[in-house]
Chains A and B, each alone.
Chain A
Amino acid sequence: MSNNVYGVVLAGGIGSRMGNMEKPKQFLDLGGKPVIIHTIEKFAIHPGLKEVLVLSPRAWVSYTQDIVRKYLPSGKAVTVLEGGATRNETIMNAIRYIEGKGELEEDTIIVTHDSVRPFVTHRILEENIRFAGEYGACDTVIPATDTIVESRENDQITDIPNRRFMYQGQTPQSFRAKKLKELYESLTSQEKEILTDACKILVMKGEHVHLVQGETFNIKITYPYDMTVAKALLGLEEKEC
C-alpha cells in the first residue's frame, strides 16, 4: 500500500456569518466532544495515514484549530485548511496543499470523508486506502434498502431502477490525488457546476471506481433526527439537538 496517503476531512459548507449564527452540525456536541473531533480521531489514529487535513469554512478555521488542539494529543499530524466554495474546490484545496509541500506524486492518495460521519470504521478506512491504491479510486456504499424512484420533471415517475443494482453512497471516497486534479482541471466551468461529486468526475471520464462496503451505522449527521440516532447509538439520552 502507498505510504503517501492523506486523510481529508471535509467540514463542508460555506459556513455561517458571524453574529447570530447557527453552529454547523460538525461542531455540535456528541457525547462530550464535537462531532468533527470524533471523525478526526478516527483518521488520526489510523497508521496508514501520514497526515490528516481538515478543510473548514473560512469563518471556522481558527475555531477548528482550537478544538483540534484541545481534544487531540500533541504529535498527531492534523492540519486545518480553508475549504473552497464547492465540495470539489475544497478537495482541490487539499490537493494544492499537498502539492505545495512537494509531495503530490502519482501514488499520492487522498481519503476524503464527511466530517459529520463520525462512525466510520478502521476497516472502511483500510479498504479505502487499499482499493484507491489498486484501482485509482473507490467509493464507500451500502446496498440500497429503499426502492429508488426517478422523476425527471419532479411530478411523475420516469423510471424505477432495479434495486439490486442500486447503492447508497457514503464516504470516504478515495482517489489518486494527482489523477483527480488533472481530470478536474480538464472540466469546463459548466461541467464543474454539474459534477458536484468527485467520484462522478471519474465515472464520466470512464475511470474505474471500486466499491467499498460501508456500514449502515456510518450515518451522516445532517438533520436533528440524525443527531438523535447518533446519540442513541452511543447509548446517550437525547436532550437537545
Chain B
Amino acid sequence: MLNTVYQLVRPRRFEIAFEDITMDQEHILVRPTHLSICNADERYYQGKRSEDILRQKLPMALIHEGIGRVVYDPTGTFQVGEKVVMIPNTPFEEDEVVAENYLRSSKFRGSSMNGLMQEYVETTADRLVRVPEGMNDLVAAFTEMVSVCYQATSRFDRTAHARRETIGVWGDGNMGYITALLLKFRFPQCRVYAFGVVESKLSDFSFVDGTYLVSDVPRDLRVDHAFECVGGNAAGQVINQIIDYINPEGTIAILGVSEDPVPINTRMVLEKGLRILGTSRSGREDFQGLVELYRKKPELPEYLEKLIGAVVPVKSISDMVTAFEMDIHKAMGKTIMVWD
C-alpha cells in the first residue's frame, strides 16, 4: 500500500513522499487522528537546529506526540477502531540496566525516523497503549509529553533521598506545569513550589503550594529537591539558582533541552554534595504507568485540559504550515492538529 508521508524537506517546507507498506502478520497500522506539536518539532521546522543536523535528518516526517485509531492488527492485540497512544521511542535491543529511551541504538519518531505526520503509521503492538475510555482526545494527543515528565518523576523517586518535604519546579511553561502537577498527584505529601518569570502563567499553577518569580525568591527559602524545566539560553541561570536554593544532598532533575553547553557552579555542586539527574524522553513503562494514573485519577487529565491551545484541522500541506506557524506565536499550551 502506498502510504502518504508528509516530510519536512527543509525549514518551513513540507512535501509529500510515499512509502510502500506491506500488510504482514506482525505490524499494526494506525490512522493518526490527533497530533500535538512539540518544541523539538518547531526547532526543525524553523531551522533552529545546526546546518549539519538538518542536512543529516531531513527529509523527515515530524511529530512524536499523537494518538490514532487501529485500522489493521494481525496480532489480535487491538480491535480495529480502538484508540491508541503511539510510543515514539523504538528500541532495537533490551538491556537489564539501561532504559529503552537511553539506549543509543534506539530510534525516535520525528528525530531518527519518520514521525507521525503520515497517512498510516506502521508499528508494533508494544509501541501502542490504549487511550482510557472517555478521555479527551486533545489531552490524549500530548500524552507523550506528559510521559516524559512521568519518567522524570519516576527517576527522581528512585534517585532522590527520602527527605522530600519541599520540591521546587523551575519553569512556568508546559513542561513545568505538567511536572509540578504530576509531583502533586504522585507525591501528595510533598510541598511543591513553582518558579517562573511570568506571573500570569504561574497563577495557572493552582494546585501547587506556592509560586515565586525567579527575580523575587525569598532569601531563606529552601527546597530539598528540584526540577529544571526551562532549557534553552536560560538553563544556566536556572540551574545556578537551583544550586543556590537547594538543600545539601538534594537531587536536581534536568529536563530542559539546551543547544549549547551550559556553565554551572560546580563548586557548590561539590560542596553541597548534589546529585544531578539528566532525564529525557520516555518508554513503554512510563506510558503504561501514566495511562493507569489517568484512569485512577480522572481529575489529572482535567488539569491538563488547561494546556490545550490552538486546535487546527489539517487536511492539506497548507493546513500543516498554518498549525506550525500558529504554534510559534503561542504563549503557552499545546497546538493540536486534528488529522483529517
Interface residues of A (CB under 8 A from B): 31-33, 38, 41-42, 44-47, 71-73, 76, 118-119, 121-123, 126, 213, 217, 233-235
Contact = CB atoms under 8 A, between A and B. Distances in A.
A71 to B, nearest CB: 8
Given A122-B119, A123-B340, A233-B18, A73 B31 contact: no
Contacts of B119: 121-123
B80 interface: yes
Interface in B14-31: 16-18, 20-25, 29, 31
A45 B74 CA distance: 12
A123 B3 CA distance: 12
B4 interface: yes
A123 B118 CA distance: 12
Nearest to A35: B2
B315 interface: yes
B71 A41 contact: no
5 contacts: A33-B20, A41-B21, A47-B71, A71-B22, A123-B315
B23 A73 contact: yes
Contact of B20 (A32, A45, A121, A122): A32
B17 A235 contact: yes
A72 B20 CA distance: 14
B185 interface: no
Binding site of B, secondary structure by majority: helix, strand, loop or mixed?
Answer: loop
Nearest to A119: B2
Contacts of B72: 45
A217 B16 contact: yes
B97 interface: no
Contacts of B340: 123, 126
A46 to B, nearest CB: 7
Per CB-CB distance, the 9 closest pairs between chain A and chain B, nearest first, are: A41-B1, A73-B23, A31-B20, A38-B2, A234-B18, A45-B71, A122-B119, A118-B2, A47-B80
Contacts of A118: 2
Interface string B117-130: 00110000000000
B278 interface: no
Interface residues of B, number: 24
Nearest to B315: A123
A119 B71 contact: no
A72 B23 CA distance: 7
A46 B2 contact: no
A220 to B, nearest CB: 14
B289 interface: no
B210 interface: no
B2 A234 contact: yes
B81 interface: yes
B2 A45 contact: no
A76 to B, nearest CB: 8
A218 to B, nearest CB: 10
Interface in B48-98: 69, 71-72, 74, 80-81
A125 to B, nearest CB: 11
Contacts of B81: 47
A45 B1 contact: yes
A42 B1 contact: yes
A87 to B, nearest CB: 24
A9 to B, nearest CB: 13
Contacts of B4: 119, 121
Given A47-B71, A118-B2, A41 B16 contact: no
A41 B23 contact: yes
Given A42-B1, A71-B22, 9 more contacts: A32-B20, A38-B20, A47-B81, A73-B74, A119-B18, A213-B315, A217-B16, A234-B18, A234-B20
Most chain B beta-carbon neighbours within 10 Å: one of A31, A123, A217: A123
B80 to A, nearest CB: 5
Contacts of B20: 31-33, 38, 234
Nearest to B339: A123
Contacts of B18: 119, 233-235
Contacts of A46: 71
